[in-house]
Structure 1
């Protein structure tokens, strides 16, 4: 920094900040201000130092930097003459007592330094009404923006909670239903066991039934090609007719159980040949067995689904992991898709993952917020029907993630402002316009990456690039 100099009234008048001031007001500023020159990369003030002056750029280029979570975040860089920073609100009772960022001279620059106390006295003396208006406006804007952002986070949490509740409800209801049906089947099985205990079933017959039972369960457990509803109906009708031809009562109830287990008329004939006149009792016992196995399979699948959802919540929040770490980005994307499962009901999801991607240094939970916003917007753009493609790939020194929809594209009039806060193309009450603003902030400021998009009448693709090395 060079020695301080004075500023003359002629130069002061050329700064937009002091336009319209009277001669007396300009002299007040000039008498109490000084001019300071800084070399390239010179530090004008540092974040956290006492906020003791308002700084106005006379010539050169300034850069404002804020330190956040071990990162230096670029707030602004400009060569606009008259740009100001520092004790901007020194006149306010709620003004910060320290600089909230650092000011660097990018190249040799000159600044007007107006001491904070003199600036406050200047405003109080000549603009007392403006002081109160600006103070109230600033506080009001801060409160309003904070409230809106909080509501956006709560709204996102509400959407995820509703989707998760719906996803959990299905397997939970299936478990309850299957448990009730299983209780009835076990009651029937107890009755059959009572018959065996009373000696009403010959030991040789029992041995044959157990062997048939094990073979039927094994056959039912094997994977089979899925059948269409029409094919299932045709097989059930065929088996019902065959059972009735063998004199089995209640064939219409037994046939669906056997068809679901992959059993056919030939199998029934083999059982008939083996058990003889005890065919109906044998088939009913086998029916109870197969129904019990199917119900246990349903409970197991539903429980596994609940477990998967719980694990997705854990993965989504990263609540038991370090905030910043090297991560595989795919589990976070998958957990987000799981969390949004209910909303994706009518969407075809295509995952085009590069499984050879290296791990990325990232704030995993924050990235999941990005995926949530991008996927949620893509679904809304398609109005609930279409193809959602999530693609990952290596892009030079970064990992890239594409979220592509088949909607109608972003309207031309808002494309240049799509990342601005409070800009939204959704209907009133459907969005706050903060989703993409938050996503861009997380990708670019927190991860030093980039978030871009291409759009047209056939859809929109957002691309997030994440550097492979922490900066």
Structure 2
């Protein structure tokens, strides 16, 4: 393939020679072609091909057969996608301004220009062209703006990776597995020093239940069975895997002990990878990462589907009242969990988007910031600004406005004063020491450079805040989803209550939430996860009630420690200002399958019944106070130390 061309259109051979001499450093990767008239230039452009495209047209404004701006604004130039640089003499400056206003060019030069100006301008324009048009921009990095071309290459690769990641969604499970195994065999062909590709006889153990698994197994041929040993030591067959399956994926990824024992049923060909070898393969074959990610997600999804199907089949065999009650509690919890997951997923969008925006900005700006030279004491000041922006919450708009007005008295510039305040550099002594001696232009440049450091620190601070937000949401959801320990624990009930409020935050931020907690906070002997289900149901019911309001919704959460029969008790109340419950219905709200929720709101009629069962298990009680059209208050009273605490439902 020929190199991209620089086409110089000029009617004076002497100037053409001068231009060629100044642009000589570029000719190792770019061709040079000249034309003395518009007609000749049109001819050159029409003969350009994909093999030798025109990258830049450097055109004189005043030619014998017309104006250069007409050439640069022509459809032929626009279709070629080249950069357009127009130059002219002082007497033609009005024509240059007119061309700029028409927007038909990329750069303008006024002849004569200072030495090096032409080379600098052409380099800049060729960098734009290469970053946009060339498949391998880094090939041109030694002659052009290497940093910009590196960013362009990274952006292009990331875009291709994102697109490639989703290209596998239309694959069948079999086709996806075959593609991964085929790629692995190609990688190890003639280079299998670790003996990753193996053949096993029947009854060979791959993973052993309860033991640490260091390997990921791809089944290329044969059949493998997974077995699970129960508490009595009886071993049961769980599932059989054939060609294309993964064995040990969950324990390999999480580092947890193997959940099952994997044994070959027939002679089997496998690809065995430990973590180091797996990382080596993924680094060497980047196209394998999206393939493997899709395969692993589908593998986990199939296991989840199989688990759900198995659980549903087992539920159908439940016969006793105790088993039926346990099933009822689980259904309610899963139903609410589904709503919580949807809300948390929605709430995660904002912090995730903020993190992505911050990361993209840091990726784009940080390399240039680090490579930019800066003398002392400015470097120390920049480092201080960066550190402070990472740790301190930005000032409010009112504070910035007030302090900027004060700083304007000694800066004389409102914009500079505002910049100083935002970076918290509005110290008159600092201004006199470091900024006042500078010229206006130098001062503005220095403030802009310091503001870049402030913005970087601010982005890092925002990323940290968003990451903590995500961690809090996940913690709250995990607290609700996990199972209770068989042994009761002493816990602060308000911590569990706050976890529940966190996972409902997406809905709570649409209304007013008031907390009134007793400063006395004794730890209560209880099953905390069971009680978390109570708080979840009560808050969910309150949210549904206020959602139907035509006025602003309000929820109050209160706690109070008091004595009852000489023993300490704690009362937790959740009150909403919703539509209330009619007196004739208040006595029935704890009945099984009874619900007061109206059309459009999800309700199985088992939530409050389950709450009553859990609270009774803790030797407490739950009561309702409600005035139709005004409010509903659910009050839970629990002994701090129950005399007898029943075990949690299985």
Match of residue 212 from structure 1:
381
Match of residue 19 from structure 1:
none
1:436 to 592, 602, 608: 608
| Residue 458 (str. 1) matches residue 630 (str. 2) | yes
Deviations 1:194-234 (A, max 9, x none): xx3xxxx6xxxx11312432554576555676335xx7689
Report deviation, 1:257: 6.0
Deviates more, 1:361-370 or 1:307-316: 307-316
Match of residue 54 from structure 1:
none
Question: Aligned with 1:382: secondary structure?
Answer: helix
1:357 to 515, 521, 526: 521
| Residue 327 (str. 1) matches residue 500 (str. 2) | no
Flag the structure with more relative contact order, 1 or 2, with Cα contacts below 8 A and sequence separation at least 6. 1
Q: Give me the whole-angstrom Cα distance separating, in 2, the residues matched to 1:215 and 1:341.
A: 35
TM-score normalised according to structure 2 size: 0.42
TM-score normalised according to structure 1 size: 0.57
Distance 1:378 1:465, change over 3 A: same
Distance 1:190 1:361, change over 3 A: closer
Report deviation, 1:279: 1.9
Query: CA contact under 8 A between 2:593 and 2:604: conserved in structure 1?
Result: yes
Match of residue 469 from structure 1:
642
Match of residue 355 from structure 2:
175
Query: CA contact under 8 A between 1:402 and 1:462: conserved in structure 2?
Result: yes
Query: CA contact under 8 A between 1:336 and 1:371: conserved in structure 2?
Result: yes
Match of residue 589 from structure 2:
418
Distance 1:449 1:351, change over 3 A: same
Q: Give me the whole-angstrom Cα distance separating, in 2, the residues matched to 1:146 and 1:311.
A: 25
Query: CA contact under 8 A between 1:361 and 1:470: conserved in structure 2?
Result: no
| Residue 399 (str. 1) matches residue 579 (str. 2) | no
| Residue 227 (str. 1) matches residue 407 (str. 2) | no
Question: Aligned with 1:299: secondary structure?
Answer: helix
Match of residue 281 from structure 2:
none
Match of residue 80 from structure 1:
none
Alignment of 1:251-400 (within 5 A): 260-262=422-424, 271-276=434-439, 278-317=442-481, 319=483, 323-383=487-547, 385-396=552-563, 397=567, 398-400=569-571
Q: Give me the whole-angstrom Cα distance separating, in 2, the residues matched to 1:209 and 1:331.
A: 46
Report deviation, 1:275: 3.9
Question: Aligned with 1:400: secondary structure?
Answer: strand
Q: Give me the whole-angstrom Cα distance separating, in 2, the residues matched to 1:155 and 1:241.
A: 62
Match of residue 190 from structure 1:
370
Report deviation, 1:448: 1.4
Q: Give me the whole-angstrom Cα distance separating, in 2, the residues matched to 1:319 and 1:152.
A: 14
Query: CA contact under 8 A between 2:615 and 2:622: conserved in structure 1?
Result: yes
Report deviation, 1:320: 8.2
Match of residue 579 from structure 2:
408
Question: Aligned with 2:622: secondary structure?
Answer: strand
Count of residues in Structure 1 that have an aligned counterpart in Structure 2: 312
Distance 1:209 1:322, change over 3 A: farther
RMSD: 3.8
Deviations 1:289-314 (A, max 9, x none): 11111111111111222222233234
Q: Give me the whole-angstrom Cα distance separating, in 1, the residues matched to 2:589 and 2:433.
A: 69
Distance 1:240 1:284, change over 3 A: farther
Query: CA contact under 8 A between 2:619 and 2:642: conserved in structure 1?
Result: no
Deviations 1:134-182 (A, max 9, x none): xxxxx9x999999876654332111111122223332222111111111
Deviates more, 1:398-407 or 1:319-328: 319-328
Q: Give me the whole-angstrom Cα distance separating, in 1, the residues matched to 2:618 and 2:357.
A: 47
